[in-house]
Structure 1
Amino acid sequence: MYKQEIKVMDCTVRDGGLMNKWQFSDNFVRGVYNACVEAGIDYMEIGYLSSEKAFDRSVYGPWKFCLQKDLERIVGKNETNLKLSAMADIGRIELDDIPMAADSALDMIRVACYVHQVDKAVALAHHCMDKGYEVCINLMAVSTVNEHELDEALKDIAASRVKTFYAVDSYGSMYVESIQHLVRKYINALPGKEIGIHAHNNMQMAMSNTYTAIMEGCTMLDATLMGLGRGAGNCPIEILIAFLKNPKYRLLPLLQVIQDYVHPMQSQIDWGYHIPYLISGALNAHPRRSLEWMDSDKKNDFVTFMKEMHDNEILE
């Protein structure tokens, strides 16, 4: 599947950090960075930009904040073709926390928001653009948004200066038909803007949904090493690269960092396919409850979890 315009973003550290509060070793982050450089990956999302007023540094690792001193420790001046990205959540970052792009190793900031926050997301995105960054907006939890709300949000995005907008399957609940509908809707509503795809794997559909998004015109593709990410994880980057058949990408460096750093981490972090994540995906529910269940001594009592989730979803 060779398409010259496609760009791949590795989100291993940013999304995977949701499973260990971004407490990755420098060797791990540097290993991922070096592998992305050697593999020809276009972007690496190295963490979040967050306010220290919102998060405690004694609890969260450095990749929740992405300070320049931490970035330099890993990438130096990043004199490579790999661009670095960080994500900013609405309400968890202050404008003064964002340095000028000229003073940062970051090239891109991705603004994550819910549908009722789109106006604030556009304002933050414009602020970042004015500081010299590439910018995307990722609209989260779109599987819970009705068509009217989404249409109104897309009008705001269309009128903005933001060049890239992401289709996001936050709950890992979508099938290919939903992705097809969503991407077509975005492309029609946002002429001239680039569309990306960020898929979660609760229903084991992340790769299929990413493939469908490519077929429908998405050119920014998110993935992570061995699917490392929140809960069930994401589209595995090694599968994506094997599929793309693009000569600018190399699979071997990704396999090396998986072998050296990511695969051994499975003994510490319980991500990937597990029944509680399937249940939250099937019910189109936020995975927070399944994450809590997986951390409890009842993690293998799937039937009780299903009953509790089903009852709670009906009540909600």
Structure 2
Amino acid sequence: MRNIDGIRLIDATLRDGGIVNDFYFTDECARAIYEANVATGIDYMEFGYRADKKMFDVNEFGKWKFTTDEDIRSIVDENNTRMKISIMCDVGRCDYKNDFHKKNESPVDLIRVATYIDTISECIEMIEFAVKQGYEATCNLMAVSKCSTSQLVKALDMLAASPAMGVYVVDSYGALYPEQIRRLTTLFYDMLTPAGKLVGIHAHNNQQCGFANTLEAYNNGAKLLDATAYGMGRGAGNAHMEALVGYFNGRKYHIGPLLDLVEKHMLDLNKQTVWGYNTSYMLTGLTDNHPRSAIAATKKKEVNFREQFDALEYK
């Protein structure tokens, strides 16, 4: 039986999946995801972003772009379960000093702060504020494939001294292979565990490595493992939660409720809003580029793959 001591599975379907459908999930669907996660034994469910309503038009997005405490409670009530509730906030896109209420007034347990390498100081300020308010907090270091080793060492040194619970390797572009994930996870582990921090992994599936990369990170010390139901997420999507639960199935996690969720909700969602591997997404992953061009090509049903590759290769 596989060692699951200390691992925590985080479901990001409403948050990363929300990028696909502008966060327009029905309450029925959100509640079904919540109930399936509870029954499966998932450790955390991320309900969405807490974006600044002064920066984003509330009429252009569903409520999980903003994820108020009231909206969460409408799904979970008092959340009398062992599963914890998470939200994500981007550096520079969240009015955190006004929107992070005291933990004892909120159903949220964990605040995950997403940052690029050049805004680590701002990320740590947000983490410090969140922890003072009573929350757990992590740093989700995006686009790690674009970072040099020296940049990472400097950032990890700062984060090791912060009150963050953990730090994530985030393969935003789905550009990394298992051997690269192994190297990065080892670096994060070696620099963070002496300070009592956990290492996390958030993988994208542009090159069909999302699940393999998640397992590679786990096998090299990562304890915070992200995934989504049926892989729902931006572009090529994420590691599939049902596959990850299947890997650990039996002692702590139980795959049956997730399979029901996929059958009853995710298959229809995938027909309404397209995500998942295709050649355009593979090319942006291969060339370590943001998937915006592949998203546009997919919407237009373009299949001029050689032209797409040449445009990416020489950027």
Query: 1:265 is matched by which residue type in structure 2?
Result: L
Q: Does 1:179 align with 2:188?
A: no
More deviation, 142-151/124-133? 142-151
Counterpart position of 2:87: 86
Aligned residue-pair number: 311
1:246 Cα offset (Å): 4.5
In the alignment, is the contact (CA less than 8 A) between 1:49 and 1:98 conserved in 2?
no
- The answer to whether the aligner puts 1:36 opposite 2:34 as a matched pair is no
Supply the distance in 2 between the matched residues of 1:308 and 1:53 (Cα, whole angstroms).
Answer: 35
1:57 alignment counterpart = 58
- Of 224, 228, 238, which aligns to 2:228? 224
Measure, in 1, the Cα distance between the counterparts of 2:311 and 2:222: 37
CA distance in 1, matches of 2:271, 2:250: 33
Q: Distance in 2 between matches of 1:251 and 1:299?
A: 36
Distance in 1 separating the partners of 2:50 and 2:91: 11
Give the SS at the match of 1:22: coil
Deviating 4+ runs (over 6 angstroms): none
Question: Hey, what does 2:67 align to over in structure 1?
Answer: 66
Counterparts of 1:140 and 1:44, CA distance in 2:
20
The answer to whether the 8 Å contact 1:2/1:246 transfers is no
Match of 2:307 in 1: 304
Aligned position for 1:111: 113
- Give SS of 1:44's match: strand
Give secondary structure in 1 for the equivalent of 2:64: helix
Shift of 1:4: 1.9
Shift of residue 73, structure 1, vs aligned partner: 1.1
Equivalent-residue separation in structure 2 for 1:50 and 1:104 (angstroms): 16
Deviation of 1:5 after TM superposition, in Å, equals 1.2
* Counterpart residue identity of residue 197, structure 2: K
Deviation at residue 268 of structure 1 after TM alignment: 1.1
Given the alignment, which residue of 240, 243, 267 partners 1:236?
Answer: 240
- Aligned identity (percent) is 38
1:144-223 equivalent positions in 2, closer than 5 A: 144-190=146-192, 191=194, 192-223=196-227
Instruction: Report the 3-state secondary structure (helix = DSSP H, G, I; strand = E; otherwise coil) of the residue aligned with 1:195.
Output: strand
> What residue is the counterpart of 2:131 in the other structure?
129
Is 1:265 the counterpart of 2:266? The answer is no
CA distance in 1, matches of 2:135, 2:16: 21
Alignment of 1:283-294 (within 5 A): 283-294=287-298
3-state SS of the aligned residue for 2:38?
A: helix
- Residue type matched to 2:310 in 1? K
TM-score by length of 1: 0.96
Match of residue 140 from structure 1: 142
> Residue 295 of structure 1 aligns to a residue in which SS?
helix
Amino acid across the alignment from 1:107: D
Amino acid at match of 1:232: A
CA RMSD of aligned residues (A): 1.1
CA contact (8 A) 2:199 2:222 kept: yes
Q: In structure 2, what is the Cα distance between the partners aligned to 1:255 and 1:160?
A: 39
Indicate the residue corresponding to 2:8 in structure 1: 7
Q: Distance in 2 between matches of 1:2 and 1:60?
A: 40
Retained in 1: the 8 A contact 2:14–2:46?
Answer: yes
Given that 2:141 and 2:170 are in contact with CA atoms closer than 8 Å, whether structure 1 keeps it comes out as yes
Residue 32 of structure 1 aligns to which amino acid in structure 2? I
Q: Distance in 2 between matches of 1:198 and 1:307?
A: 28
Pairwise CA distance, 1:309: 2.0
Query: Would you say 1:120 and 2:117 are equivalent positions?
Result: no
Separation of aligned partners in 2, 1:255 and 1:230: 21
Structure 2 unaligned spans of 5+: none
The aligned amino acid for 1:81 is R
